[in-house]
Chains A and B, each alone.
Chain A
Amino acid sequence: MPPRLNIVVPIKRVIDFAIKPRISAAKNAIETNGVKFSMNPFCEIAIEEAVRLRESSKDLVESITLVSAGSAKIQDTLRAGLALGADKATLIDIPAIDDSKSLELEPLAVAKLLKAFVEKSNANLVIMGKQAIDDDSNQTGQMLAGLLNWSQATNASKVTVDEASGVVTVAREVDGGTETVSAPLPLVITTDLRLNTPRYTKLQDIMKAKKKKTEKITPEDLGVDVTSRLEIVSLSEPPKRTGGGKADSVDALIGKLKGVGAI
Chain B
Amino acid sequence: MSASFRPLLRHVLAKRCTPLSTNPSVRYASSFQWQDPVLLDTLLTDEERAISDAARRYCQGSLMPRVLEGYRDETFDKNIMLELGELGFLGPTIEGYGCSAVSSVAYGLIAREVERVDSGYRSAMSVQSSLVMLPLEMFGNDEQRGRFLPDLAKGKIIGCFGLTEPNHGSDPGSMETVARPHPTKEGVYLLSGAKNWITNSPIADVLLVWAKLDGVIRGFLVERSKAGPGLATPQIKGKTALRASVTGMINMDDVEVAKENMLPDIQGLKGPFSCLNSARYGIAWGTIGALEGALALARQYALDRKQFKSNPLAKYQLIQKKLADALTDISYGLLACVQVGRLKDAGKVEPEMIGMIKRHNCDRALENTRKLMEIFGGNATSDEYHIGRIAANLFVVQTYEGQSDIHALALGRAITGINAFY
Residues of A within 8 A of B (CB): 17-18, 20-22, 31, 33-36, 38, 41, 75-76, 79-80, 83, 133, 193-194, 197-204, 206-207, 209-210, 237-238, 240-241
Partner of A207, one of B17, B20, B32, B100: B100
Give every chain A residue within 8 A of B19 (Cβ-Cβ). Answer: 20, 22, 237-238
Contact with A along B25-51 (1 / 0, CB 8 A): 000010111011001000000110111
Nearest-Cβ distance from residue B247 to partner chain A, whole angstroms: 27
A123 to chain B, nearest CB (A): 26
> Which of A17, A34, A76 interacts with B31 by CB under 8 Å?
A34
Main secondary structure of the interface of A (DSSP, over half): loop
Report if A79-B31 is in contact (Cβ < 8 Å); known contacts: A21-B17, A207-B100: no
Which chain B positions have C-beta within 8 A of A209? Answer: 50
* 12 A-B pairs (CB sep. < 8 Å): A18-B12, A20-B18, A20-B19, A34-B31, A34-B32, A83-B50, A199-B3, A201-B50, A201-B53, A202-B88, A203-B87, A206-B47
Q: Does A197 lie within 8 Å of B6, measured CB to CB? A: yes
Q: Which B68-100 residues have a C-beta within 8 angstroms of A?
A: 86-89, 92, 100
Q: Is the CB of B22 within 8 A of A241?
A: yes
A211 vs chain B, min Cβ distance (A):
12
Q: Which residues does chain B contribute within 8 Å of A238, judged by CB atoms?
A: 17, 19
B309 contacts the other chain (CB 8 A) = no
* Contacting residues of chain B (282-319) with chain A, CB-CB under 8 angstroms: none
Chain A residues lying within 8 Å of B89, measured Cβ to Cβ, are 203
Given contacts A33-B31, A197-B3, A199-B3, contact A79 B12 (CB under 8 A): no
Taking a contact as CB atoms under 8 Å apart, the answer to whether B3 and A206 are in contact is no
Q: How far is the CA of A31 from the CA of B20 in the complex (A)?
A: 13
Known: A20-B20, A201-B54. A36 touches B36 (CB 8 A): yes
Q: How far is the CB of A168 from chain B (nearest CB, A)?
A: 24
Chain B interface residue count, Cβ-Cβ cutoff 8 angstroms: 41
Least CB distance from A129 to B in Å reads 12
Using CB atoms, name the residue of chain B closest to A23. Answer: B19
- CB of B57 closer than 8 Å to a CB of A: yes
Q: Are B17 and A199 in contact (CB under 8 A)?
A: no
Whether A210 and B47, one on each chain, are in contact in the complex, defined by CB atoms closer than 8 angstroms, is: yes
What is the CA–CA distance of A206 and B57 in the complex, to the nearest angstrom? 14
Q: Which of A35, A76, A133, A199 contacts B50 (CB 8 A)?
A: A76
Residues B46 and A75 in contact, CB atoms below 8 Å apart: yes
Cβ-defined contact, B47 with A201, below 8 A? no
A241 to B24, CA, bound (A): 11
Q: Is the CB of A38 within 8 A of B53?
A: yes
**Chain B contacts of A33 at CB under 8 A?**
31
Out of A17, A41, A197, A207, which one reaches B47, CB within 8 Å? A207
A18 to B62, CA, bound (A): 17
Known A-B contacts A34-B32, A35-B33, A203-B87; A17 and B9 likewise in contact (beta carbons under 8 Å): yes
